[in-house]
Amino acid sequence: MNPLSNLAVRDIETLVHPYTNLDQFRQSGPLVIERGKGVYVYDVEGKAYIEGMAGLWCTALGYGNEELVEAAAAQMRKLPFGHLFNGRSHDPAIELAERLKELAPVPVSKVFFCNSGSEANDSQVKLVWYMNNALGRPRKKKIISRQKAYHGVTIASASLTGLANNQTDFDLPIASVLHTACPHHYHFARDGESEEEFSARLAHELDELILREGPDTVAAFIAEPVMGAGGVLVPPAGYFDKIAEVCRRHDVFMIADEVICGFGRLGTMFGSSAVGFTPDSISVAKALSSAYLPIAAVMVPAAMYDAMLAESRKIGTFGHGFTYSGHPVSAAVALKALEIYARDRIVDQVSAKAPAFQARLHALAGHPLVGEARGLGLIGGIELVADRRTKRPFDPKLGVAARCVREAEAEGLIVRALAGDTISLCPPLIITPAEIEDLFDRLARALDRTLDWAVRDKLVQI
Ligand SMILES: Cc1ncc(COP(=O)(O)O)c(C=O)c1O
């Protein structure tokens, strides 16, 4: 939109935008989206865009889903707010917890509700600490995450996140969080190292880290099934089997962050099942309500719940929870979303559409700007490099991926630039085969125009 338009000026003078270069933004101004329908969103000037990122990896059922709207309106009329503190309850939270227990890929004893992925992962950390205090092992508190992981931005979850921009000058990470190697074969495997060998080496490095720190001080390991904001990184063959063997040996609790991968994204209800990961506990958010309202959850296993029970008996209460934990309107919308996933066989549909999506994605690996194309199910990333042979990245200051995002916007496609010049794709799960083709046609044109610019400015040689 015209940056001098009234809304743009008001925005620049009033809003702090997350994940935005606040200085550049004062010149560029916002893209103001007004409405959405299906996989399309429309800006204030009426221009249509394919929402190739499902918002922030979250609007699984697309825009304008009347059933979700109706579920919210009905619950608003009936009980617009209810809480779960001091033993109070309401039927949407009870029913949603039951449903999540049925769907979970591992045994779940109880469900703890919160409002965001960050809160879920923060709660995971606190629950692990609480559990180990209850179990009489007060030293076993360190949490191992991975470089390039994304687990959120609150103090504990931003510490779990392994990306510089979320930590630099925020005085993070906190001391009890450690990071092990990122499982990205393209960049971090040694010459000639197979995926299995790479996985074995990373598991060995994890083992060494735990031994160095002392197994009696390491409480948990957290991982996304496919890493999202770190660059859409699909784990190498054998990775989770080998990592799990190390964690089990040292009695390290395993947490799956299913905030992006949960509810069908990888072609399975939970992403863990698609990548051979069997966690102890799970964080979910985003697609739980198709992002129509904020809601997230921690799925708590029996061993953890028993410890919580013992600890709260000792202290007199379980002193954790949010005003909006299990908010009845959010819970009603989430229940409706889960009903639609089941009724419309959304997960099967993702499996059916994924091969065409992945074929078009992987075909982009032949483009002169693309170093690697990677993905699984209906998620993908393409990494732009200055030299495909040596994998040499562009100088981040050139903003090559950001340029491609702008070219895509001109084509009527919303995608996102991640650190490391990766363009991510994560469309609503309801995208049709024809819309998938259209999405990739638009992206290919955006890439070509980015290439023209890069050649003109001598940023790349082809
Ligand atoms: C894997 C993962 N975990 C956690 C989060 C944090 O979620 P929120 O932004 O709702 O706090 C995100 C957000 O993108 C995510 O992708």
Which tens digit of pLDDT belongs to each residue from 117-166? 999 999 999 999 999 999 999 999 999 999 999 999 999 999 999 999 99
Report the chain's mean pLDDT, rounded to a whole number. Answer: 97
Provide the 8-state DSSP code for 320: -
Residue 296 Cα: closest atom of ligand 1: 10
Instruction: Give the C-alpha separation, 219 to 45, whole Å.
Output: 52
Distance 117 CA to ligand 1 centre (A): 4
Which residues have C-beta within 8 Å of that of residue 265, sequence separation ≥ 6? 57, 60, 226, 271, 287, 350, 377, 378, 379, 426, 429
Backbone angles phi, psi at 88, to 5 degrees: -75, 155
Q: What is the pLDDT along the chain (462 residues), one digit of tens a residue?
A: 454 579 999 999 999 999 999 999 999 999 999 999 999 999 999 999 999 999 999 999 999 999 999 999 999 999 999 999 999 999 999 999 999 999 999 999 999 999 999 999 999 999 999 999 999 999 999 999 999 999 999 999 999 999 999 999 999 999 999 999 999 999 999 999 999 999 999 999 999 999 999 999 999 999 999 999 999 999 999 999 999 999 999 999 999 999 999 999 999 999 999 999 999 999 999 999 999 999 999 999 999 999 999 999 999 999 999 999 999 999 999 999 999 999 999 999 999 999 999 999 999 999 999 999 999 999 999 999 999 999 999 999 999 999 999 999 999 999 999 999 999 999 999 999 999 999 999 999 999 999 999 999 888 877
Residue nearest atom 7 of ligand 1, based on CA coordinates: 117
How high is the pLDDT of residue 2? 57
Ligand 1 is surrounded, with C-beta below 6 A, by 56-57, 116-118, 121, 150-152, 224, 228-229, 257, 259-260, 285
Which segments of 79-222 does DSSP mark as H helices, in order? 91-103, 117-134, 155-160, 185-188, 195-213
Tally Cβ neighbours within 10 Å of residue 285.
Answer: 28
Pocket test for ligand 1, best of 222, 286, 290, 293 (most atoms within 8 A of CB): 286
Residue nearest atom 3 of ligand 1, based on CA coordinates: 151
Pocket test for ligand 1, best of 125, 259, 260, 284 (most atoms within 8 A of CB): 259
The three-class DSSP label of residue 101 is helix
List beta partners, residue 282. Answer: 256, 299
Whole-number Cα distances in Å, 155 to 152, 160, 174, 388: 9, 9, 8, 37
Tally Cβ neighbours within 10 Å of residue 164.
Answer: 10
Contact status, residue 154 vs residue 118, Cβ threshold 8 Å: yes
Distance 460 CA to ligand 1 centre (A): 34
> Edge-to-edge, what's the strand order for the sheet holding 40-43?
33-37, 40-43, 48-51, 413-414
Whose tokens are 């419309």? That residue is: 344
Residue 227 Cα: closest atom of ligand 1: 1
Residue 46, judged by CB atoms within 10 A of its CB (0-12, 13-18, 19+), counts as exposed
Residue 293, judged by CB atoms within 10 A of its CB (0-12, 13-18, 19+), counts as buried
Residue 294 Cα: closest atom of ligand 1: 10
**Which structure tokens are listed for 129?**
């600490």
Distance 2 CA to ligand 1 centre (A): 31
Q: Mind spelling out the 3-state secondary structure of 261-315?
A: CCCCCCCCCCHHHHCCCCCCEEEECHHHHCCCCCCEEEEECHHHHHHHHHHHHHH
Helix then strand then coil, in percent of the chain rounded to 5, is 45, 15, 40
Residue 119 Cα: closest atom of ligand 1: 11
Tally Cβ neighbours within 10 Å of residue 402.
Answer: 17
Please tell me whether the overall predicted TM-score, pTM, comes out greater than 0.85 for this model: yes
Distance 122 CA to ligand 1 centre (A): 11
Contact status, residue 326 vs residue 96, Cβ threshold 8 Å: yes
Pocket test for ligand 1, best of 59, 150, 161 (most atoms within 8 A of CB): 150
**Per-residue pLDDT reduced to its tens digit, 55-64:** 999 999 999 9
How high is the pLDDT of residue 4? 53
Provide the phi-psi class of 421: left if phi over 0, else alpha when psi is between -120 and 50, else beta.
left
